[in-house]
Structure 1
Amino acid sequence: MTEENTTYSGLFEALSALQDAIEQPKKDASNPMFKSSYVTLDAVIASINAAKRKVGAKIFWHNEPRERVMWTVIDGYGERLEIQGAPIAGDLGNRGTNSAQAEGSAETYARRYSLSMVFGIASDVDDDGNAAPKGQPKAQQKTQSQPKNQLNSMFGGVSKAFRDKNGFTEEAMYQAISQQFNTNINSFYTFNNLNDQQKEAIINWLRAGIK
């Protein structure tokens, strides 16, 4: 049932109604490396457009890359809203793709996270408990973790060398890692919560970016 005849007093009221009507899309893409799933950009856009039709919100949105940052611009009811989103990772040249493909992938990732943030969509990775060994509860696994293990130390050294080699800020480095592995790693804390196999994959990828 749609509400196409609904009248809103302004852009913010219409946007609020749209956000309330959002139905969380299914995580319809898989990440074999992390044995996880996430929401694709197409699914994010479909969810937004479906909610827009449902509440009859007469708004128009688009994404604009500005100085390596993805912005979401929303127009409607004589008003405009511009929201800063995710940074666009640079082409590192070590992904087995050409520059155009790498740039397209970076922009797709930035659009997905930026739109999800604006419209309240949960597009982050869901590992379905795969990080824990089979038959072992997550809580038990956590008590056996070693926060200051060898992989964490290796990551510290490799990540610094990677940033120095490529002229990346720490934020841009984490953005590039997140894009490469289709997950949300934005700090050392989130890296520390990964399992050893995932940490090794990231460290090896960073090493490739140093050579």
Structure 2
Amino acid sequence: MDETQTYEGLAAELMELLSEAQKEMPNPKKSREGQKGYQKYKYATLDAVLDIVKAPLNERGIFLSQPSGKLDDGTMRVQTVVFYKGTQMVLDTKPYEYDSDPQEFGKRETYARRYSLLTAFGLAGEDDTDGDTGPAKAAPKPASKAAQPKKEQQVPDRRTRMLAKVAKYKATLMERGLSEDGLNAYLTAHYNVDSPDKLTDEQLIDYGKQLAKTVEEYEGKETPNVD
């Protein structure tokens, strides 16, 4: 048996033992309280996590180690590594930032080691706050009348303007003595409709010009533009 086969066999055996050990690892007790921004949460200490994972591993001849070191870019990292019969396997790697303050650096390393252990063995060691998007935001207050944008004034379309002029001419002619029935009879005779609304745009222009000429005759003015 060559070295490759030996390693593959040991790796497979190690994975099987890790699977068995993991079944005996309950989630650690969350005995400490922390705070992220506005929200408080509970978490398990590094000691509590180690107590959970080491015994099932050691009973199967598996040694646990968490070496840390500094990378070329200055970032620190900690690895969760297991050893079995001369074979080692890296289960997880967690980066963390270096700090010149020994106390702060110790906190960061402890957090990285704890988080790496939890990840490596699929354990939950702190309250899940990822789904919390923060406190509900108050509904925005309506803008004051001064701040509200003014509604854009709608400009009547061309047909609407023509209908308005026709109505104005009809009103003028009725004031001059022409009857509404007579004006409507002209509509029916020339365009076969009973209302200016039913005229096409071209018919409406023509009808408006006829009314304008009639107004001119009554008032002696130039023909108004209805287009």
Q: TM-score normalized by structure 2?
A: 0.46
Larger radius of gyration: 2
| TM-score normalized with structure 1 length | 0.50
Q: Which has the higher contact order (CA 8 A, sep 6+)?
A: 1
